[in-house]
Amino acid sequence: MKIDLTDTTSSKINAALMDARRASGSTAAGMVLTLVIVTDEGSAYDALKAANDASREHPSRTLAVIKRAGRSPRARAETRLDAEILVGTDAGSGETVVLRMHGELAAHAQSVVLPLLLPDAPVVVWWPDNAPLNPAQDPLGALAQRRITDAVTAESPVGQLAQRAAGYTPGDTDLAWTRITGWRSMLAAALDQREVEITGAVVEGESYNPSVELLGLWLHNRLRVQVERVVTGGPGITAVRLRTKDGDITLDRPDGLLGTLCMPGAPDRMVALKRRDTAELIAEELRRLDPDDIYATAVRTPVDRLRERIAGVGHAGPGGTVEAAAPAAAEPEEPKVVEAAVAAPARVTAKLPEKAAAKKTAAKKATAKKTAPRKRSGQ
């Protein structure tokens, strides 16, 4: 059932929801929470589809807040609330209300949402993109017990982690963290099978992926070892290697579908590590509404704790210097340094020392003279 209300109010929307529920033969709400989605017209369809799929596991009232302040002075002066109500099969296992706020009303969305919240039920706010710097201080975020963001949609995904750490409040979480649940479970289960000493770790994944960074920071916090970050072509996280004296414990997933767990002295095993869609991620986040202390510890760890490596390049230490892969005997007193574009360009600020830069320039000139073509007679 679909009901369109133009230039309406929150009280009229509540009345329409009650009428729709009676028409469908169900007088009881039967919903466990209110999910508020703050989005725009471009992302509304995908976000609502994911929320409807997740509602089959968590029946909820979904409120999609779409702010349309208007571009012209006339449009901004017009204050209006339009609502689209979906009940029944069109709304999964709950109710969906799409709220389009025009004009000045867009700046006061919380006043429209508050009367529509289910009484005595938890509130979760989800920003599919364009999340505020501090979700807990946002007027809509202040209404919720749980606030969900997605760093991967930001202009600088890895840099977004620093903002999430700076504005963290208990109840905040990010879908970049939810995406590594399977990896964390598999690695923890592998270490439960035998007592081994982990001497180091390597996390391989595509560039500009905050999930790769969070997985490395989690390993660094839990194992207290140096973690190396290797940039690959993806998709997503491609492999994790835990260094031990007996050999590497490797969890490899090159195709984004199926992983292989390799342990010293044991046969290789295939494990399910499929990349999940947004509906599955939201459903997982709605299973727990208490603060995630493990996420808080990981996101608050500076990203520069990870060592960086790219194809043909050595390691980048905590200071952000990338050492070139070169023979150890070649001028050990002056380590060679190169500039590399890695997952977080802002943290790799390697520059050639003045002395090394002068030698490099001289070497280039000498090479250019040797390789310059000689003139032939008659040319």
Inter-residue contact 252 to 237 (CB < 8 Å): no
Residue 353: the pLDDT is: 39
What's residue 284's pLDDT?
Answer: 96
Going by C-alpha positions, the residue among 240, 230, 227 that lies closest to residue 209 is 230
Return the structure tokens found at 168.
């963290």
Residue 68, SS3 per DSSP = strand
Helix (H) or strand (E) holding 356: helix 354-371
- Cα–Cα distance, 84 to 311 (Å, whole number): 52
The pLDDT tens digits for 130-178 are: 999 999 999 999 999 999 999 999 988 988 999 999 999 999 999 999 9
Q: Cα dist. 157→31, 320, 355 in Å? A: 34, 18, 36
pLDDT < 50 regions, the chain: 311-357, 359-360, 367-379
Report which of 102, 292, 332, 294 is spatially closest to residue 214, judged by C-alpha positions: 294
The one-character DSSP state at 337 is B
Q: Specify the pLDDT at position 370.
A: 46
Instruction: Please provide residue 180's backbone torsions phi and psi, each rounded to the nearest 5 degrees.
Output: -105, 15
Identify whether 235 is preceded by a cis peptide bond (ω within 30 of 0).
yes
Could you give the dihedral angle defined by the CA atoms of residues 362, 363, 364 and 368, in that order, rounded to the nearest 10 degrees?
Answer: 100
